[in-house]
Chains A and B, each alone.
Chain A
Amino acid sequence: MLGMIKKDIFMIRNNLKTLIFAIFIYLFYTFMFEADMSFILPFMMLMICISTFGYDEYNNWYSFASALPQGKINTVKSKYITTITLIIFATIIGIICTFIISNFKTTINFSDAISSISGCLFAIFILVSMLFPFLFKYGHEKGRIAMFILGMGAFAVIILLKKVINISIPTSIITFLDSYGLIIFLILSIIFIGISYLISKKIFLKKEF
């Protein structure tokens, strides 16, 4: 499996410029407009990781990978591990940047930013868990459309809850989330990604190249 992870890292390495660009945008917006842009880095990293699916298809990698020992299972495993690891890595960079900026800009509260980044990370993990089975089933192009639909769907649901139904979250839930939110997010992320991995594995093992 390590070989497959290395392959993805070698491919992603070429997108390093995109990531550095994302860091600059993140720093610029946070510093100049004091805006919360914590989602940018992990989201950009997710996009970069998703692009490896496209490269794999374009280069006929999957048929060769299927001929390797444990090739199909390791392909799925490595995609999840690489993506999650790199998203966490991007998040850590984001946290470091936020910490540095919070020392210069008093309007940016570091602990609030951490909560926001954790929320973003959770949302991205949920996106990964929903998106990856689509990518394995339908490929990169159709998977991207699925991502767009998922994103728009999630956005619509939030707007609906907020504007139309006008649900207000009780303070007890907010207090509970303040105390245990991180652990709950972590546990839910693991469960979602675990289920997603099992579905992707099943899909990919059946797939022929």
Chain B
Amino acid sequence: MKYAIEIKNLKKNYPDFSLKVDELKIPSGAVIGLIGENGAGKTTLIKSILNIIKKDDGKIKIFDKDLEEQELNIKEDIGVVLDNTFFPESLNSRNIDSIMQDIYKNWDSKLFYKYLKDFGIKDNQILKTMSKGMRKKVEIATALSHHPKLLILDEATSGLDPIVRNEVLDLFLNFIKDEEHTIILSTHITSDLEHIADHIIFIDKGTIVLENTRDEIIDNYGILKCDIDEFDRIDTNDIVSFRKNKYSYEILINDKDKCRKKYKDFVIDKITIEDLMLLMIKGGK
């Protein structure tokens, strides 16, 4: 398998937070959903991959090249949308086109204006007068217009209305049709990931707690529901985490088939990524 990103023993320490990734391999040609609560380490991981922050230890390879040794070449092939808006407010899209022509070797003005047209953005409108969603669209168009191989999107779909968000997700799906292309999408809108993600990486308190394909997560994980007095009948080895409600328990299990055979009297529901996040972070163990 070809990997877009390979990370080994990555460490980044702050006084009140540490990111620690022993090993992470992100396959090419896939959409990777990065999930976790605020402050879990998603942005730190993204910024480490982009070398915006200096790691304390570890190795990062992108497109099979060492990030530190070949940063310039690597970054030519990466499109970025960060969580905060980043273009100066006084610029318009024409200015951005002019700036980017001298930053990326492969900058494609035609493509940039095509995206803007598709998004319904006038090229002479200054960013200051745009809504947050419109500014995000300009940033997405910018990230896509130098023919990158890797798109790194930190909360790129937040602030967009559902219709535009769907358009943008379709755009990402179109981008990923090329097997060389990869997307890392960090988002709190987990339904977006159910729509497009191939892999899910779940970060909690600076470490990766779950990494698997979306299908395997949806197929294997489930929520077993039982009454309070039935809870003791569930083998603790089958419980990943649980949430106690007023009259019942919701138990996160990671082997749905096995549990269906073992606990025939219980209801086992399909899991959503949001449920998974909630139960893994907030659930008891």
Q: B128 CB to closest chain A CB, in angstroms? A: 10
When distances are taken between beta carbons in the complex, the residues of chain B under 8 Å from A3 are: 99-103
Inter-chain CA distance A127–B198, complex, in Å, is: 55
Q: Closest chain B residue to A68 by CB distance?
A: B103
B144 interface residue, CB < 8 Å from A? no
Inter-chain CA distance A55–B91, complex, in Å, is: 11
Q: B56 CB to closest chain A CB, in angstroms? A: 12
Q: What 0/1 pattern do residues 11 to 35 of A give for CB contact below 8 A with B?
A: 1001000000000000000000000
A106 interface residue, CB < 8 Å from B? no
| Partner pick for A61 among B54, B72, B87, CB 8 A cutoff | B87
When distances are taken between beta carbons in the complex, the residues of chain B under 8 Å from A66 are: 50-52
B88 interface residue, CB < 8 Å from A? yes
Contact A208 B53 (CB under 8 A): yes
Q: Closest chain A residue to B126 by CB distance?
A: A14
Inter-chain CA distance A209–B46, complex, in Å, is: 12
A206 interface residue, CB < 8 Å from B? yes
Known: A59-B87, A59-B89. A67 touches B82 (CB 8 A): yes
A85 interface residue, CB < 8 Å from B? no
B37 interface residue, CB < 8 Å from A? no
Inter-chain CA distance A142–B102, complex, in Å, is: 31
| Partner pick for B82 among A7, A14, A64, A71, CB 8 A cutoff | A64
When distances are taken between beta carbons in the complex, the residues of chain B under 8 Å from A64 are: 80, 82, 86-87
Q: A207 CB to closest chain B CB, in angstroms? A: 9
Contact B72 A69 (CB under 8 A): yes
Inter-chain CA distance A27–B212, complex, in Å, is: 70
Contact B98 A6 (CB under 8 A): yes
Which of A10, A14, A70 counts the most chain B CB atoms within 10 A? A10
B3 interface residue, CB < 8 Å from A? no
Contact A206 B85 (CB under 8 A): no
Which of A4, A6, A67 counts the most chain B CB atoms within 10 A? A67
When distances are taken between beta carbons in the complex, the residues of chain A under 8 Å from B72 are: 69-70
Q: What 0/1 pattern do residues 45 to 68 of A give for CB contact below 8 A with B?
A: 000000000011001110110111
Q: Is the interface of A mostly helix, strand, loop or mixed?
A: helix
Contact B90 A10 (CB under 8 A): yes
When distances are taken between beta carbons in the complex, the residues of chain A under 8 Å from B103 are: 3-4, 68-69
How many A-B pairs fall under 8 Å by CB?
82
Q: What 0/1 pattern do residues 181 to 209 of A give for CB contact below 8 A with B?
A: 00000000000000000000000001011
When distances are taken between beta carbons in the complex, the residues of chain A under 8 Å from B99 are: 3-4, 6-7, 10
Contact A67 B88 (CB under 8 A): no
B231 interface residue, CB < 8 Å from A? no
Known: A59-B86, A60-B82, A69-B103. A10 touches B52 (CB 8 A): no
Q: What 0/1 pattern do residues 41 to 64 of B give for CB contact below 8 A with A?
A: 000000100111110000000000
Contact B90 A11 (CB under 8 A): yes
Which B residues from 11 to 55 make CB contacts under 8 A with A? 47, 50-54
Inter-chain CA distance A69–B102, complex, in Å, is: 11
Contact A63 B84 (CB under 8 A): yes
Inter-chain CA distance A6–B59, complex, in Å, is: 35
Contact A69 B91 (CB under 8 A): no
Inter-chain CA distance A39–B164, complex, in Å, is: 52
Contact A11 B88 (CB under 8 A): yes
Contact A69 B86 (CB under 8 A): no
Known: A7-B99, A10-B95. A59 touches B54 (CB 8 A): no
Inter-chain CA distance A14–B78, complex, in Å, is: 31
Contact A59 B52 (CB under 8 A): no
Q: A204 CB to closest chain B CB, in angstroms? A: 12
When distances are taken between beta carbons in the complex, the residues of chain B under 8 Å from A11 are: 88, 90-91
A150 interface residue, CB < 8 Å from B? no
When distances are taken between beta carbons in the complex, the residues of chain B under 8 Å from A93 are: none
Q: B68 CB to closest chain A CB, in angstroms? A: 12
Q: What 0/1 pattern do residues 188 to 200 of B give for CB contact below 8 A with A?
A: 0000000000000
Q: Closest chain B residue to A209 by CB distance?
A: B52
Known: A67-B52, A206-B54, A208-B54. A7 touches B88 (CB 8 A): yes
| Partner pick for B88 among A55, A68, A69, A208, CB 8 A cutoff | A55
When distances are taken between beta carbons in the complex, the residues of chain A under 8 Å from B76 are: 69
Inter-chain CA distance A114–B272, complex, in Å, is: 74
Q: A3-B102, A59-B85 are in contact. List 17 more A-B contacts (CB 8 A).
A: A7-B88, A7-B91, A7-B95, A7-B99, A10-B98, A55-B89, A59-B86, A60-B84, A63-B82, A64-B82, A66-B52, A67-B52, A67-B75, A67-B78, A69-B71, A208-B47, A209-B53
Q: Top 5 A-B pairs ranked by shortest CB distance? A: A3-B102, A64-B86, A3-B103, A2-B102, A69-B75
